[in-house]
Structure 1
Amino acid sequence: MYRILNKRKLAPEVHEYVIEAPEIARAARPGQFVVLRLHERGERIPLTIADADPETGGVTIVVQEVGKTTREMGDKFGKGDCILDFVGPLGKPSEIENFGTVICIGGGLGIAPVYPITRALKDAGNTVLGIIGARTKDLLFYIDKMEKVCDELIVTTDDGSAGRKGFTSDPLTEILAAGRKVDRVVAIGPAVMMRACADATRPF
């Protein structure tokens, strides 16, 4: 059994959980994920690791309530409760090295998995420009965390309720068009956002 050390609401129907899993916390690398099962009758669901603390043994995941298991977790599981299975770290870690100048983009729930990658790239010596966005300000989170690991952070919302109005691909396009040397772009978010970011980089 794996105990929930903390739970907090980040946005409507989005919660951050810190799960006590020392072995996973020590082994986890940016870009990896875990698979959890709440109880014996539960389904197994994959969730990207948003943070890991080897000292406390805590592994952070961000969960959006979109299906049966995630809604059950949001409604019935809180600090002090235990989940049955928590397996990981799984998957190939993100490539982390000193590339030079890197732009890290997180859209919507993608802000959570892009955070540890951004931090690791900064720790590796890169100049890091961060761009995070959501449909509206109520859906934004981790602004403070991203500010700490970025040399510059741009916030966007579709409706202009926070930061600049527009999409995350807009400042990316402007930065590239201005001739700034960018060695790598990392983008995590909805498929339409990642497609727009990929299209923005192609001419360069």
Structure 2
Amino acid sequence: MPGIHLLKIAAPNVAKKARPGQFVVIRIDERGERIPLTIADWDEKEGSVTVVFMEVGTTTHRLATLGTGDYIADFVGPLGVPTHIGKFGTVVCVAGGFAVAVIKPIAQALKERGNKVISILGARTKDLLFWEDELRQVSDELIVTTDDGSYAR
């Protein structure tokens, strides 16, 4: 997807405590601005945290150019109140565009808790759909739509 990036960061302390619905604050270097990013995924055993972001300005452009072994000055988190994950029965998770990065870990946790998860994913066009397969894996049913009607499942 154009302008959308996944960044996996080694952050064992954050990965150990991360929960669905939380975020981190990243600062690339000492002069850079701090930006909040949703925790899209994490692996406690590996000690990694994955964030998803859209390249829209100087900071996210610089973040997109980072490679393996590059340095980030600050990676603070997890922050925010985690989403309440209960046994509700049937739940519906809705995401538009790359906001699926927020919904995917929530849907996954709800399914692991024993809920039937119906997810709805939308985007303006088929080209702007992101993480359809990943959301499908954690949903019992996935409905996909586009504003322009170019794609639906």
Whether the TM-score (by the shorter chain) exceeds 0.5 is yes
Quote the offset at 1:148 in angstroms: 1.1
| Alignment match of 1:54 (pick from 44, 54, 65) | 44
2:20 aligns to what? 30
Distance in 2, Cα, partners of 1:112 & 1:138: 16
Distance in 2, Cα, partners of 1:113 & 1:20: 20
Aligned residues: 153
Quote the offset at 1:27 in angstroms: 0.3
Distance in 1, Cα, partners of 2:67 & 2:145: 31
TM-score, normalising length from structure 2?
A: 0.96
2:84 aligns to what? 95
Q: Which structure ranks higher in relative contact order (CA pairs < 8 Å, sequence separation ≥ 6)?
A: 2
Match of 2:93, SS state, is: strand
2:71 aligns to what? 82
Is 1:129 matched with 2:109?
Answer: no
2:132 aligns to what? 143
Percent identical pairs in the alignment equals 59
Match of 2:30, SS state, is: coil
Match of 1:116, SS state, is: helix
| Aligned alpha-carbon RMSD (Å) | 1.0
Match of 2:98, SS state, is: helix
Distance in 1, Cα, partners of 2:62 & 2:70: 13
| Alignment match of 1:156 (pick from 139, 142, 145) | 145
Quote the offset at 1:67 in angstroms: 2.1
Distance in 1, Cα, partners of 2:147 & 2:116: 27
- Off by >4 Å, runs of 4+ in structure 1: none
Match of 1:83, SS state, is: coil
Quote the offset at 1:141 in angstroms: 1.5
One-letter amino acid of the counterpart of residue 71, structure 1: H
2:4 aligns to what? 14
CA deviation string 1:124-165 (max 9, x = no partner): 11111010011111111111111111110001111122216x
Larger Rg: 1
1:120 aligns to what? 109
Distance in 2, Cα, partners of 1:158 & 1:115: 21
Could you say which structure has the higher helix fraction?
A: 1
CA deviation string 1:16-56 (max 9, x = no partner): 01000001001000000000000111000000100110011
